[in-house]
Amino acid sequence: MAKPLPRTRDSAGSTPQWRVSAGLVPYRQAVVEMEARVAAISGGTADELVWLLEHPPLYTAGTSARPEELLAPGLLPVFQAGRGGRYTYHGPGQRVAYVMLDLAARGLDIRSFVRGLETWAIQTLARFGVEGERRPGRVGIWVAGENGREDKIAAIGVRVRRGVTYHGLSINLDPDLAHYRGIVPCGIAAPETLGVTSLARLGAAATMAELDAALAKTFADAFAGAT
C-alpha cells in the first residue's frame, strides 16, 4: 500500500508534478485518469499534477450546456464533461492543461483558483506578445480586436472533488477554428462581435513545446498571487 503523503501547504508547494502527453489522448481516458489522480491526491497518496495534452476533435458539454447550443449534431463526438460551463471544442493544435491541485493545502478557494487559471493564461500569452484580458460576465481569456470585436483565446472549465481541482484550461495555439461553428462556444451567441481566435491567427509564431515552456515558467507566480 502506498504511504500517504503529508497534507500541508508546504508539501503542496508551488510546483506540482508535470506530465506532457505525446499524441492525442482520448477524452474518456483522460477523465478516468484525472479522477483516479484526484482521489489519490485527496487520499494523500499522490502529488498534485499539471497534465498537458491534446485531444482528438470533439465537443464537451459542461453542466450548464443547453441542447440548442449544439448547432451541428453529429459533426463531432460530444462528451458530458461534468465541469462547469457550457459547450466547448477540443482538438489538435489546442493545448489542454488539466490542473489537479489541493485547494486547502494551497490556501485557495474555488474563486481564487479560477483567478489563478486566468492569470496563468494571461501571463503565458504575454510571452508571445498577446494581451489576454478578463471580461466581466464572460468566462475565459479574451483579446481585443478592431471595431469593438473581441475573441476568446483561452477557455476555462473546472470541477472540484474532495477539495481537489480537475479539468482546467485550454489555450488555442493553432486548432481548426472552423470546428467552433458547430457549437455556441461557452454560450456566447454574438458572432458579429465575439468569436474565437488562436495564437497562429494573431500572427504569434510559437510551437507547442514553446507554449508548454511558457506555461511552466508562469505557473508558480500565477498561483502564488491567487490567494
Measured in degrees and rounded to the nearest 5, phi and psi for residue 88 equal: -145, 170
Task: Provide the grid cell at 165.
Answer: 481541482
Out of 186, 199, 204, 211, pick the active-site residue. Answer: 186
Q: Which residues contact 164 (CB under 8 A, 6 or more apart)?
A: 38, 41, 42, 100, 101, 102, 103
Instruction: Tell me which residue has cell 494581451.
Output: 131
Q: DSSP character for 183?
A: B
- Is 73 among the residues known to form the active site? no
Calpha distance 158→57 (Å, rounded):
20
Which residues are catalytic, by number? 186
